[in-house]
Structure formats: C-alpha cells, structure tokens
Chain A
C-alpha cells in the first residue's frame, strides 16, 4: 500500500513568542510525531482531551503551520508550500468538523455552502453546479430541496451530513474528520458512521479520524495511533491495539471503557491522577507519573519508538515485561439469544422500510 500522507517528526508548540515582561508558557501540543497513512485506509488518532490529537489533524491539512517536521502528501512536501501552491491540493484534502453548527455559515443557504467549493475549484457553474449540489445532498441522504434552507433549520445529524456533503463537493481523496460523530446522539451517530463508511467505499476515500470514543474507533478504523500528551505511544492495526494492547497507557485506556454488559462488571485498576499540563510535560516518558509500571529509567530517559515485526510501533522501555504481566483487553459479551434474535428482526424490518423509502 502506498502512503497518501506522511508525518515526519511533527512538532507544534503554541505561545512560543514571548513578549517583553510577559512570559507566555510554551504549550508543547505535538512533540515529534511520525506516521504514514495508507491510501484507502481509515487511520484513527485517539487520545483524551489535551493530548494534541486535534492539533495534529490540523497540522496534517496545513490548517496550522508546524514548528518543526515535514508533512508529505502523495510524495510532495507540503510543509512550506505557499497558500497559492497549496490550493490545488486543498481540493483533495478536506476536513469534517465536530460541531457542524459552528462550522456552517449561518447566513448562507445549504446550496451556497456546498456549492462554494465547487465554484472555488472551478468544477462546475450555474445549472451544472446546482445539479451537483442536488446530487451531493442525495448522496448524504438529504432531500435536494434542502439547498434553499439555512443551517439552523436542521438537526445535528442533518448538519453533520451537510458538512460531509461540503467536504465531498471538491471531490477529495482524503478526509480528516475531527470528532466527526461525537456531538451526535447514539442513534444519529450510527447513521453518520454508516454514511461515512459507505462514502469511503463508494469514492475510494482515505479517512483520518480524530476521536476519543474507543467504540467508534474500533468500529471504523484499520489502524490506530494512540496519543498521550503530544506523542504517539502506540500505533498498530485496530485488532492489535484492542486485542493485545502493549503500551501501559493503551491498556489503561481500554480498561477504563465502561463494560458493554452488566455481567462483565469487575473491579479493575483505575488510572490515577490527571493529564499533566502540556506546558510542563514530565521528563523521560511523559506517561511515567501515572504509569503503574514506571521504574526509575522512565523518569530519566525518553523511550524510543520501536517497530515490531508486525509493524506495530511502541514507545515504552518495558513493554516486554509488561506484556508478561497479563494486562488484557476489555472483556466482551456475546449478545443474549433474545437480543440477537430481535436485533436481527429489527435490521431486517429496517432494511425493508429503507428500501421502500428509496423507491418512493
């Protein structure tokens, strides 16, 4: 698989410029992050608040400038490209935001919001553009007539569909979704997840999903990068991360997920403490103050990224020893026979209703 996007040693610090007499503390938001995203995959970046995952997503699209490191898009180093030189590439790289209401201009009709990128990139004009907008609305499951309406007239799920239609309008290869479903209710979230997956298959898209919800990530992604305090601590295939997590932070994260069934309740070690401030990250391994396995070395030396034979990357001095200690994946319960039977009935009926609606 070829890389569509590469991050090489990305660093982003905020508040670097100190003014006279005022010392703004430097926020080390992203600290030396490297990975490549394969063409056609869904690559997830997961972490808790303040880990730098959203900043990283914006660096990848050059919506923020890096402090150090390179961003390579399809073989081209785009780190220092001018806005003008970047423009044709912008067409291929789109962003879907978390809060669709904040990212849709309230004074523009849906038709203009979706039509704008079509016009900007010279893809279609006039009647052709209107036809394209109608087609995009149908693609994301909305009525073409909605083009005349304004964002406030729609529900959260519909707005997210509009945001997705706008992202698709420029015919991108790559879409970065920054928490694209986390503001939505479960039932609506499932609709949008299914939509993203269908569109990805239909248009051969590559998705980069920045998210905190581990269920969403397990469901949607092929590979997962786990971030902690600005750094990637573990990167592997989704099954490897969820079934055999190696980094103590990944393990703690998975342990913390609420169980999926009351029969699985158990006492488990909870991670203590809070995320340290990114203005003063701990020395050595950034996770050591909260790590149940920390040893003196962890305070002194920063662990190097090790690449294992299956391609997994991990940054921990003691992952081999920890692996032996048997910290496992979250337990999973099979659905009860009654739930399984009724859910199958539900899906069957739902498919019939949807087919009937599509015909109408």
Chain B
C-alpha cells in the first residue's frame, strides 16, 4: 500500500498540477484571474488522485500510470504554453 500511497503523493502531485494547469490556462481570459481558484482546485484534485491511487492493483501499476499521465499532462501544458496557443 505504501508504494501506491507514494504514487499518489509524488507523481500524483505532478499530475494534479498538470490537470489544473491545463484547465486554468485553457479557460478564456488571462491565467492570472484563475490563481485562487486554481490553487484551491489543485488541493481538491490532488486529494482525489491520492485516494484514487489505491485503486491500482499494485505500486508498480500506480507509479507507471500516474507517472505517465503526469508526463503527458504537464508536457501538453508546457507545449501549449510554449506555442502560445493558450493564455
């Protein structure tokens, strides 16, 4: 269970950041207006991800899935930011 727990805590943190980043930047309007809502939403998403990480069958699957999703979400966010396709 510890492996799954840490999967939620570490790559889960990054995944939550990526998801919140994608949503807050993709919304219309400048991102500065989403700061407070984004920080609050981040905690909601992170707690949910940490809870969900226990649904994986074992630690290895949890780390693999959450790690990959974190890379994908943050990667997508950084790409879109670099391309200036989102504000």
Do A and B associate with each other?
A: no
B: which residues have CB within 8 A of A? none
